[in-house]
A and B are shown apart, each in its own frame.
Chain A
Amino acid sequence: MLAKRIIPCLDVTAGRVVKGVSFVELRDAGDPVEIAKRYDQQGADELTFLDITASSDDRGIIFRIIEQVAEQVFIPLTVGGGVREVQDVRNLLNAGADKVSINTSAVVNPQLVADAAARYGSQCIVVAIDAKQVAPGKWEVFTHGGRKATGLDVIEWAQKMQRLGAGEILLTSMDKDGQKSGFDLALTRAVTDVLEIPLIASGGVGNLQHLADGVKQGGADAVLAASIFHFGEYTVQQAKQHMAKQGIEVRL
């Protein structure tokens, strides 16, 4: 049967992989190409790169990184950050990305999701949603790296993105991100249950049981994590073995 996916996430700025807690105290985690190769060898199912570069002057760096990774790593690569128009999608795909993740721009201009999906296929359009709990069982969509409230309900928004042609939803809990206390399982479950397309859970992973919980309790089709892999706490292979022991189908 289809395996649940483990996706290491690489936040990239100025040509380096970094990781911070809620976008502050960025800590250097190394060279993105080397890290990508390491995760590939460990059995990562996909890789996600988020370009968190603030200055548009440095945008070229992510293209060179993706080109280099794509020459050496033969698993799906997703790239997000700064995607504003269909041309941006095209440029990233041409650099070697297999999927492009759209976050803020999907809110600013939902038609971008529809246009990009129509042109390049739903399989390469991931819509990333940053969610913050506003009431019991209720979450709001935030944009601009979590700084801006939109008034949009996460569940309705995810369904709308599916209708417009998203092939997958990357759902990050802002409340949990960087806390290492596990995914927001209620959020994950609430969104995956209304979707026909796959859901990637993100935000909050601090140990291997959190990954298993995201699948078993949250109902996620894939789990994304950054810091537990970057700083050598665990390998992707250890994560998979931990999940397999609990009866979760994984690619070992």
Chain B
Amino acid sequence: MVDVAIVDYGMGNLRSVYQAVRKVAPHADVCVTDDAQVIANAQRVIFPGQGAMPDCMRELEARGLRQAVLDAAHNKPFLGICIGLQMLFEHSAEGDVPGLGVLAGEVLRFDAHMKDAQGNQLKVPHMGWNGVKHGDHPLWAGIAQDARFYFVHSYYVKPREAGGVQATTDYPQPFVCAVARNNLFAVQFHPEKSAAAGLQLLQNFINWNPV
């Protein structure tokens, strides 16, 4: 039984996530896996993602991992990252595809013609370090209010219920960048690429024991 399973459905490079988890949990048994049984037996599951949502959903299905991810999202410490956050929702405007439906709400694209306060055009993808206004969930322990995390995405989540929102970021309007429910926590940014603040969040996930 592994301590941390990082779900590999063939989309993008999971090495960064693996390296960062090894850094904060040097003695943990960490693996990158596409084996549903390993995911089912793992104590904690990280669900990352890169690329386009339709491809991610298709690959998840093709590898027979959908049920293992759904089970993990309902019954053990579970961390979604980037597309791994977006896939938890019901529907995405990216390719007009259904998601896993673990959380109520949808995934929308940033407007192409947004401006900042000085009138400069805001680029899409939203790429770089942006401030995160967060609540008091245990995964934020030791992380300053407005700490910057590294983002790269063109779509954002819009939960139907406000209850699970754990953080927002402005671009230029506030959008939801972290959600939680029971044993589940998911973020839009990349903690594995967010220097000290990101490593702290991963450390907090490793130490997290949701009831």
The residues of A with any CB-CB pair to B shorter than 8 Å are 1-5, 40, 45, 70-71, 74-76, 93-94, 96-98, 119-124, 167-168, 193, 195-199, 219, 221-222, 251
Number of A-B contacts (CB under 8 A): 104
- Cα distance A151–B192 in the bound complex, in angstroms: 41
- Cα distance A94–B19 in the bound complex, in angstroms: 12
Given A74-B193, A96-B19: A122 and B125 interface contact (C-beta under 8 Å): yes
Q: Mark B118-160, 1 if CB is under 8 A from A, else 0.
A: 0011111111111100000000000000001011111000000
- Cα distance A147–B65 in the bound complex, in angstroms: 49
B49, closest chain A residue (CB): A121
Residues A96 and B127 in contact, CB atoms below 8 Å apart: no
Given A1-B130, A93-B12: A120 and B112 interface contact (C-beta under 8 Å): no
A195 → chain B closest CB, angstroms: 7
A-B contact pairs, 7 of them (CB 8 A): A2-B126, A94-B15, A120-B50, A121-B51, A124-B12, A124-B13, A196-B121
**Majority SS of interface residues in chain A?**
loop
- Report A-chain residues with C-beta under 8 Å of the C-beta of B193: 74-76, 98
A189 → chain B closest CB, angstroms: 11
B189 → chain A closest CB, angstroms: 12
- Cα distance A201–B167 in the bound complex, in angstroms: 31
- Report B-chain residues with C-beta under 8 Å of the C-beta of A74: 16, 19-20, 23, 192-195, 198-199
Known pairs A3-B129, A3-B130, A5-B128. 9 more at Cβ < 8 A? Answer: A74-B16, A74-B198, A120-B13, A121-B11, A121-B50, A121-B52, A123-B153, A193-B121, A221-B123
B147, closest chain A residue (CB): A251
A97, closest chain B residue (CB): B13
- Report B-chain residues with C-beta under 8 Å of the C-beta of A96: 13, 15-16, 19
B18 → chain A closest CB, angstroms: 10
B140 → chain A closest CB, angstroms: 18
A228 → chain B closest CB, angstroms: 21
Does B172 reach chain A (CB closer than 8 Å)? yes
How many residues does chain B have at the interface if contact means C-beta atoms less than 8 Å apart?
A: 40
Does B170 reach chain A (CB closer than 8 Å)? yes
- Cα distance A3–B123 in the bound complex, in angstroms: 12
A226 → chain B closest CB, angstroms: 20
B126, closest chain A residue (CB): A2
Given A1-B116, A124-B50: A93 and B129 interface contact (C-beta under 8 Å): no
- Report B-chain residues with C-beta under 8 Å of the C-beta of A195: 123
Out of A1, A123, A222, name the residue touching B50 (CB < 8 Å). Answer: A123
Out of B121, B152, B171, name the residue touching A123 (CB < 8 Å). Answer: B152
Residues A1 and B171 in contact, CB atoms below 8 Å apart: yes
B94 → chain A closest CB, angstroms: 11
Within residues 6 to 54 of chain B, which ones have a CB less than 8 A from any CB in chain A? 11-13, 15-16, 19-20, 23, 50-52
A209 → chain B closest CB, angstroms: 19
Residues B172 and A1 in contact, CB atoms below 8 Å apart: yes
- Report B-chain residues with C-beta under 8 Å of the C-beta of A40: 195
Given A121-B50, A197-B123, A197-B125: A70 and B15 interface contact (C-beta under 8 Å): yes
Residues B13 and A2 in contact, CB atoms below 8 Å apart: no
- Cα distance A93–B19 in the bound complex, in angstroms: 13
Within residues 148 to 185 of chain B, which ones have a CB less than 8 A from any CB in chain A? 148, 150-154, 170-172
- Cα distance A46–B101 in the bound complex, in angstroms: 34
- Cα distance A197–B198 in the bound complex, in angstroms: 25
- Report B-chain residues with C-beta under 8 Å of the C-beta of A193: 121
Q: Which 5 A-B pairs have the closest CB atoms?
A: A121-B51, A93-B13, A251-B129, A123-B152, A198-B123
Most buried by A among B13, B120, B122, B154: B13
- Report B-chain residues with C-beta under 8 Å of the C-beta of A98: 13, 16, 193
A123 → chain B closest CB, angstroms: 4
- Cα distance A45–B152 in the bound complex, in angstroms: 13
Most buried by B among A1, A70, A124, A167: A1
